[in-house]
Every structure is written in structure tokens, then in C-alpha cells.
Amino acid sequence: MGSESFLKDVSLAPGAPEEEPARQYYYMALLSDLVSQRAKEIGRDLTACVVTFGCQMNARDSEKLCGILKKTGFVLSEDENSDFVIYNTCTVRDNADQKVYGRLGVLGNYKKKNPGMKIALCGCMTQEASAVEKIKASYPFVDLVFGTHNLYEFAELVYKCFSKKGMLVEVWEGTDRIVEDLPVDRKYPFKSGINIMFGCNNFCSYCIVPYVRGRERSREPKEILREIEQLVADGVVEIMLLGQNVNSYGKNLENGITFAQLLREVEKIEGLHRIRFMTSHPKDLSDELICVMKESKKICRHLHLPLQAGSDRVLKTMNRCYTKEQYLALVEKIRKEIPDISITTDIIVGFPGETREDVKETIDVIRKAQYDNAFTFIYSKRTGTPAAKMEQVPEDQVHEEFDEVLKCVQDMARERIVRFEGRVMEALVEEENTGKNAADALREMGAKEGEILLTGRLSNNTIVHFPGNASQIGTFVNVRLDKCHGFYYFGHIVTEQNA
């Protein structure tokens, strides 16, 4: 049953059901009435703004928040000076926390001018007890704080928040529950992320994720396949399977299905054109998965394979459970079986105890693995992780070594991307590029009058810009990659007439 009809038909007389998600639809119905009443009182619709920090998992969570807000009568806005503002936070690095605290100060000023405004915080940062205590002490104007484990209770929490004064804090230490089948408001109508698992069991010594996302919990395959089928029926042509470590999918399920086996089933879904996934831990990437990717006609030719460091000593201290030699052997095997694949990675510079010799080992891996791109970060100390108690690297040394690693990554990425120049490749048209240089780019490409600048993504995750029209957004087109501009391409659509 669709959520809109569910809200009309739900009975409020018996009280809130115990089972989920029926309980949340009950509170959505209550919240819808409350929002409607408030809108009548102020003579306009109530606005809501959801701001997302962090990874694809957070982005998917925000789509769920937005879906519930829309179904209950809020009008979504990008203006943080709204009636209801939700910050979906990240805590992987300290600067993410500081960014949230800084913006909360701005929201506090907005709320002084609009006392009826409500402010909520959720996500990974709120799973840290120290962060919640700081919010209570320094930002008492925040109305609602909840975490990652009870995100599905959003409707219930918002209803209670709008029905009372003072700060409501509902943060769980952990959970074994997975509740889906709630409204979702997708950013793109033609592509979508989908959670296949939650949490992480790896406990890398620098990482806060297992503490804030909890233990690994895999969704049942039939539920995943049903959701993807529904998305495809709704016009989705590309899906991204999401998990902290998708390679360990299924380990806690009774039927013992592997991630590779799940991919085989997903590929059978008619109407689905592309399959992506994030993120793969090298220690769990199986020969079976490589085989499935090799044989697949739908799985994208892109693999994100986090390295983090190239030194065996550092990798051991990080608790990554592989060596430099094992990682490079895996990369070699993948490239041998899937020659056209693009491999990207994550690299941390300045991990506690890391020396210049260790950094040289990382640079050696970059050159040998030949990454198509890499997300390179300076180590961020996270309280509560083992690495936070280790001897930290001097800041000036870290920045010097970071610049060296970043230059190596960028040089390698430029060398790799130019290999596509002149080729015709299929791109999913994702959006109109309205940047300040769009007009100049169109002139450089010799665009026709009336054409706009479109941005597309290749199977290997490379971005290409080209002239076209708005009706092509969400479709697949063949694009000739005319000119490489560092990390992206300018091109033009190739049809039978102009091939």
C-alpha cells in the first residue's frame, strides 16, 4: 500500500501499534495533522531543510528523512532559515564536527528571530556521548537529537518534538533491527542508492564508524531485490548498493548468501541498466566477486578499494588485515581479469607513528596500483578509537607528506584518464551544468543555439560534459570523449547521423 493512502486509511483510535513500520505510519498520520494545523495558524506551509554531511550512507538516510517530511506536509527547502532544520551529521573526521558546531551558531540566531523554529541533529556525530553532552551544554536551543540506530523512528520523534518544549534526546547505543518500507524522496528520479547492510565489524584502529553505526547487519536478499524492482518500476536505471563493507554482506544471515551471489540476482532484474556498489574492504574481496564483475553486463567498470596506507607496519597498526604485497597482488588480479576497470581508493596521511619511509611505501603503491583517482585525507584523531591514544605525528611533517602524496595521486590520475581520449563511451546524463563557466565551455565545444551543458557519468565513474538538451537528463547517450581537462572530459553526443 502506498504511503499516501496509508496515511488516509490509518486508524488513530487504537493507539500506536508496536510493530514497525506500521507504528511510524501511525505517527506520520498524527504529524500530518499537526503540520496542517500549524500551517493554518501561520497562514502558509511549513518549510523543512535537511542538510547532509558525509558519505553515501548519510545521503541515503537523508532521502528517507525528506520522504517522511514531504508525506507529512512539509515543503522541502534549501534555505536553512526554515521552520524545521535537520543536520544529518558525519563524524569520520574532526572538521566535520566543527563544521556542524559552526553552523549551529547561525541557526541559533535564526531561531531568536523565529522562536517557533525547530532544530534537529541526527547521524553519526550524535552517536558520540561527548558530542551529545556538548550539544546539551552549548546549544540548548536544539530541539531534537537522535542517532543512526533509530533513524526509522523519525516521524515519531518529530511528532513528539513538535508537541513539547525543550530538547528531546533519543540516542541508542546499538540495535539489531532493520526497518525499511518508509517513504523516500530521491534526489535523482533515475538513479538511487539502496542499503544492503548496516554497521561494520572491522574496527580499524583509526575509525569511529563501528562505534557509531554498530555491528554488521545484512538485509534479507528478497527485501533488497523487491526494493530494487520497485525502484526500476518507478524509473530508476542505475542503483548503488550501499554498505560500510559490502564484501562481507550476508555473513549474519541464516541462508549464507554472499555479496557476489546477491549481485547475480540483482543483475537479473529487467529494466535495470547499471549496478554500482560502495565500499569494498580488500581483505574480503573474493575471487567469486571478481568473476561476477568480469562476466556482468550491468556492473559498472569501477571499483573503490580503500588502501589507507602502503606500509606493512602502519597497516598492521591500523588493523587492516592485509599487507602491501597482498593488496598489490589483489589489484593485479583484478586488472588481469577486468582490464578496462577503473580503481579508486582512500589514503590516510599522518597516521600515528607514520614515518617518511612509511609514506614512501604508500607512494610506491600508488605508482604500482595506478589508481584512476584517490580520496586523500590527513589523519583525524577520533576520541574513543585505539589510534587516538597513540603518539601523533607532528603537524608540519603531516602537511608536507600530504602534499607529496596528493601530487603523486593527481599526477597518476591525469596519466590514467587521458587513455580514453577519442573513444565513444556510454554516459548516463545526470544533470544540467549551470556553473559560471558553462557558457564558455559550450562555446569551446561548438554547441548549437539552444543547447545546454549536460554532465554525464561513464561506467568507470569518469565525468564528461557535453552539449545537449534537458530532455536527455536521466537517459543513456553515447559520447565521444574529445578533450581531457585534467580529471574530466569535454565531449559530444554521437548518434547514427553524426557517427
The pLDDT > 70 percentage for the chain reads 97
CA dihedral 21→22→24→27, nearest 10 degrees, is 180
pLDDT in tens, 303-326: 999 999 999 999 999 999 999 999
Half-sphere exposure of 119 (CA within 13 A, CB side): 24
1 pLDDT above the threshold of 50:
no
The residues near 96 (Cβ < 8 Å, ≥ 6 apart) are 53, 54, 89, 90, 125
* Per-residue confidence (pLDDT) for residue 8, from 0 to 100: 65
pLDDT in tens, 159-180: 999 998 899 999 999 898 899 9
* Per-residue confidence (pLDDT) for residue 2, from 0 to 100: 39
409 pLDDT above the threshold of 50:
yes
pLDDT in tens, 70-110: 999 999 999 999 999 999 999 888 888 999 999 999 999 99
* Per-residue confidence (pLDDT) for residue 80, from 0 to 100: 96
CATH assignment, 304-419 = 3.30.750.200
* Per-residue confidence (pLDDT) for residue 247, from 0 to 100: 95
62 pLDDT above the threshold of 70:
yes
* Per-residue confidence (pLDDT) for residue 14, from 0 to 100: 76
pTM: 0.92
CA-to-CA distance for 270 and 233, rounded, in angstroms? 10
Average pLDDT, rounded, for the chain: 94
Look up residue 215 and give its three cell numbers: 555491528
Q: Which CATH number fits domain 3-170: 3.40.1380.10, 3.40.50.460, 3.40.50.12160, 3.40.50.720?
A: 3.40.50.12160
Instruction: Say if 304-419 and 421-493 have the same CATH topology.
Output: no
CA-to-CA distance for 85 and 150, rounded, in angstroms? 18
438 pLDDT above the threshold of 90:
yes
CA 34 vs CA 42, 155, 453: distances in Å: 13, 12, 43
Radius of gyration of the chain (CA): 24
Yes or no: say if 293 and 303 are a contact pair by the CB < 8 Å rule. yes
Strand order in the sheet with 302-304: 302-304, 342-349, 373-378
Q: Which CATH number fits domain 188-300: 3.40.50.2300, 3.40.1210.10, 3.10.180.10, 3.30.750.210?
A: 3.30.750.210
What residues does each domain of the chain span?
3-170, 188-300, 304-419, 421-493
Q: Which CATH class is domain 421-493?
A: mainly beta
